[in-house]
């Protein structure tokens, strides 16, 4: 596990985008695993800049997103499809049909989840997966629990996640209670993983991972320790509790 502690969010985004740019330049047919939320915005901005100013080419790239709320369609402003189109895809030369975000309105959700994992495999698997982390230690929408889902599944969101994510909705009542989420083995199958965390509110979750050699389903991100190519990039604030312990 490689760990980088950067001064601030800008430096974190710079470090993450450099790694991604290098990978995309090396492999035109790259399959990207993408996250939403506030953490990767700075990284996406830099990738867009590299596309506009240096011609970084996404024409043969594909992408798979980690998750989507059940019940929201792609033009709902709080859906992850809407986020991805607006924050990233609309500004680069990726073919929309090469971008996959789980369909929160799929008719048969369980069958659809299986199909999503199949689709990832059919496309050769994820080359590099970007992850953020929840304040409760979740990755994707794999919430802390006695047992974790291995494959893409329908998951129930924890109250803390609903509260954290209500900032992206008009009111907390609007936040869906369930989501489609890639499972822990869908994520661990990625060839490379980059976990990003910034801000004081992530410090506790990060310390629960970094200050010991253990894994726990109560801290889903700790399972990343099982992977052989993980890079963690934090800012000083997200590292503060690990430093203190």
Binding site for ligand F6R (CB under 6 A): 35-39, 66-67, 132-134, 138-140
Any alpha helices (H) in the chain, and if so which ranges?
9-26, 41-54, 80-87, 109-122, 159-165, 184-188, 203-210, 236-244
CB of 102 to ligand F6R, least distance (A): 10
Q: Which of these, 65, 56, 49, 54, lies nearest to 13 by C-alpha position?
A: 49
Angle at which helix 9-26 crosses helix 41-54, to 10 degrees, equals: 50
CB of 97 within 8 A of CB of 64?
A: no
Return the number of the residue (132 or 144) whose C-beta is nearest ligand F6R: 132
CB of 140 to ligand F6R, least distance (A): 4
CB of 124 within 8 A of CB of 27?
A: no
CB of 165 within 8 A of CB of 192?
A: no
* 143 is a catalytic site residue: yes
Return the number of the residue (164 or 213) whose C-beta is nearest ligand F6R: 164
Return the number of the residue (38 or 93) whose C-beta is nearest ligand F6R: 38
What is d(CA 159, CA 162) in angstroms, rounded to the nearest whole number?
Answer: 5
CB of 245 to ligand F6R, least distance (A): 22
* 201 is a catalytic site residue: no
Kindly name the residue from 65, 103, 136, 198 that is annotated as catalytic: 136
Return the number of the residue (29 or 77) whose C-beta is nearest ligand F6R: 77
Q: Left, alpha or beta for 125 (phi > 0: left; psi -120 to 50: alpha)?
A: left
What secondary structure letter does DSSP report for 168?
A: G
Return the number of the residue (68 or 127) whose C-beta is nearest ligand F6R: 68
What is d(CA 83, CA 76) in angstroms, rounded to the nearest whole number?
Answer: 9
Kindly name the residue from 6, 68, 117, 143 that is annotated as catalytic: 143
Kindly name the residue from 6, 65, 67, 117 that is annotated as catalytic: 67
Structure tokens at 239: 């590292």
* 229 is a catalytic site residue: no
CB of 137 to ligand F6R, least distance (A): 10
Return the number of the residue (92 or 197) whose C-beta is nearest ligand F6R: 197
CB of 209 to ligand F6R, least distance (A): 14
CB of 191 within 8 A of CB of 126?
A: yes
What is d(CA 112, CA 104) in angstroms, rounded to the nearest whole number?
Answer: 10
* 67 is a catalytic site residue: yes
What is d(CA 79, CA 84) in angstroms, rounded to the nearest whole number?
Answer: 9
CB of 28 to ligand F6R, least distance (A): 25
The residues annotated with a catalytic role in the active site are 67, 136, 138, 143
């Amino acid at each position: 596990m490689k760990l980088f502690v950067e001064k601030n969010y800008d430096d974190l985004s710079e470090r993450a985008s450099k790694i991604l740019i290098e990978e995309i330049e090396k492999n035109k047919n790259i399959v990207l695993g993408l996250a939403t939320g506030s953490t990767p915005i700075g990284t996406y901005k830099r990738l867009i800049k590299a596309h506009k100013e240096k011609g970084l080419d996404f024409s043969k790239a594909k992408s798979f997103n980690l998750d989507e709320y059940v019940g929201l369609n792609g033009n709902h402003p709080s859906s992850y499809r809407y986020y991805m189109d607006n924050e990233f895809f609309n500004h680069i030369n990726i073919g929309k049909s090469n971008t996959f975000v789980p369909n929160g309105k799929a008719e048969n959700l369980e069958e659809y989840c299986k199909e999503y994992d199949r689709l990832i495999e059919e496309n050769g698997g994820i080359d590099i997966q970007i992850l953020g982390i929840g304040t409760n230690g979740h990755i994707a929408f794999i919430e802390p629990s006695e047992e974790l889902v291995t494959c893409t599944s329908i998951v129930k969101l924890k109250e803390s996640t609903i509260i954290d994510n209500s900032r992206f909705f008009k009111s907390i009542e609007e936040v869906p209670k369930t989501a489609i989420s890639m499972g822990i083995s869908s994520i661990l199958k990625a060839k490379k993983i980059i976990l990003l965390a910034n801000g004081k509110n992530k410090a506790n979750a990060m310390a629960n991972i970094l200050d010991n050699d253990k894994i726990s389903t109560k801290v889903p991100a700790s399972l990343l320790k099982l992977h052989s190519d993980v890079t963690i990039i934090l800012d000083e604030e997200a590292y503060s509790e690990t430093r203190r312990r």
